[in-house]
Structure 1
Amino acid sequence: MSLSLFIKYIHLFALGLLGCYLLRYYGDLNPVLASVLCGLLFSFLPFQSFIKSTKGQGAIYAGTFAAMSSSRVLNSINDFVLVCILGGLILTLFEGRFEGLGGRKGMIAFLAVAAFYMYRSVL
């Protein structure tokens, strides 16, 4: 597991999560439209080559999928940080796995939010 890849995934997951969250709650858009607009925006802006790669864009989309969860689940900055760390960890651990299968990014977002939700419900 590469630490630099893990940190990049955390940042890109956070970028997608916060972008979609802001569009969803402050732009008053439905979750799907907010996710699509966020992904579209980040795919057209000029960024470094890693973000323009499919790995980087996939991490951003996984973050937007995590932002589709209810505001009752993610309602503080600590929640966002923990979900981004979990999302980055899961993206790093599943690197190169499930190739050719659809729904990987949605599954990763689901696992990150579900793990956070279980953690929070235990505490």
Structure 2
Amino acid sequence: MHTTLALPIVVSAALTGLIGSFIPFPARYQNHPYASIYAGSFAGMCSTSLISNYWEIAIISAIGAVLYTLTLNVFAGFGGRLGSIAFASVALFVLAKGLLI
């Protein structure tokens, strides 16, 4: 939304979370899909100079999903977990991208 609609980054992330909160998920998943959407919106706030195409967004999303799953019971009850996951997924992607280029 930031690059396409020229909205501020924070507004784009907030709209992503807001729209994602209206998607119905089965009750057995609890709040995990919504938390993943918010973590993804945080990761999407990174600079457009780091991400050049949609494949890179998909890779960052996959890294974030793996990190979210691995830390599901590790940081229970602590604030900042979703932001930390977003930061780690983007940082790992940028590090891997820098090593491959």
Measured after TM superposition, the shift of residue 97 of structure 1 is 1.7
- Could you tell me how far apart the structure 1 residues matched to 2:31 and 2:41 are? 15
Task: Determine which of 3, 12, 31 is the counterpart of 1:54.
Answer: 31
Q: Which residue pairs with 1:29 in the alignment? A: 7
RMSD: 1.7
Equivalent residues of 1:61, 1:105 under 8 A apart: yes
Q: Secondary structure at the match of 1:112?
A: helix
For structure 2, the residue ranges without an aligned partner over 5 or more in a row are: none
Task: Determine which of 15, 18, 21 is the counterpart of 1:43.
Answer: 21
Greater length-normalized contact order (CA 8 Å, ≥ 6 residues apart): 1
- Could you tell me how far apart the structure 2 residues matched to 1:27 and 1:52 are? 32
1:111 has 2:77 as partner: no
TM-score normalized by structure 2? 0.89
1:97 has 2:74 as partner: yes
- Could you tell me how far apart the structure 2 residues matched to 1:51 and 1:65 are? 25
Please say which of residues 80-89 and 102-111 is displaced more in the overlay.
80-89
Percent of paired sites with the same residue = 31
- Could you tell me how far apart the structure 1 residues matched to 2:28 and 2:97 are? 31
Measured after TM superposition, the shift of residue 53 of structure 1 is 3.2
TM-score normalized by structure 1? 0.74
- Could you tell me how far apart the structure 1 residues matched to 2:29 and 2:68 are? 17
Q: Which residue pairs with 1:66 in the alignment? A: 43
Give the letter aligned to residue 49 of structure 1: P
Equivalent residues of 1:58, 1:105 under 8 A apart: yes
Between Structure 1 and Structure 2, the one with more helix by share is 1
- Could you tell me how far apart the structure 1 residues matched to 2:28 and 2:50 are? 28
Distance 1:27 1:105, change over 3 A: same
